[in-house]
Amino acid sequence: MLERRLEPEVMDTSEDAHDYNRMDHRTVNRIFVDDFLGFVRANGFDDRLANLRQPLRLLDVGTGTALIPIELCSRRVACQIIAIDLAAEMLKLADRNIAKANLASSIQTERIDAKQMPYATGSFDAVISNSIVHHIPEPKAVFAEMARVLQHDGLLFVRDLLRPESLADVDHLVATYAGRENAHSQQLFRDSLCAALTLDEVRDIAVAHGIPVPSVAQTSDRHWTLAWLSG
């Protein structure tokens, strides 16, 4: 198994932000939202998805350029989303994407450190996150904060990359999923794979925060997913 090799916690150069935003995340984002909404409905939140008077209060941790909140809102579900990131350059593009999609009334961005959120305990009905955990040198604090701000009987849905077993596996995944991207984008993906956690590492952190092992599973050749109904 490869040793974990950390990458910068914050992708905050203009080049990083623009290359990330330009990459084709449509399939991954669509599947994330499909799976999240399936989890929401499986746990009896159907009425909240259609209740405009009491929309789902949702936090997106590590939103990047807000592509997942935009995809979620495109499904015509009732939700109010706070989308946080620590990278100012990412949030600049997020705000542009949100304005272009005419979703400023549904999605609000905030520059927040996910390891120290200012929100009160139990503030959100649901917390989601896609591909932020591998950026964090010590991810335990992020898990603790996501669990803290989630209300009792709330939904936590987190997905991230799995660290491959070998450099050959890294090369294969980069060629398969980023082979048509530019060299900088390919390097970003390569670095992210090497910085990711293993399934056992994620499960150990989850259990330490009261999240049962079966809540964490490998869900693709390069992803793990944590899906948990708290309480």
Residues of the chain falling short of pLDDT 70? 11-12
Q: Provide φ and ψ at 165, rounded to 5°.
A: -80, -25
The set of residues, in sequence order, having a beta carbon less than 8 Å from that of 62 and lying 6+ positions away, is: 84, 85, 114, 129, 130, 131, 132, 135
**Whole-model pTM?**
0.94
The pLDDT tens digits for 2-59 are 999 998 777 667 777 777 777 778 899 999 999 999 999 999 888 878 887 889 999 9
Which structural domains are found in the chain, ordered by start?
14-165+197-229 (3.40.50.150)
- C-alpha span between 165 and 119 (Å, rounded): 37
Q: Tell which phi-psi region holds residue 169, choosing left (phi > 0), alpha (psi between -120 and 50) or beta.
A: alpha
The count of other CB atoms within 10 Å of the CB of residue 187 is 15
* pLDDT value at residue 21: 72
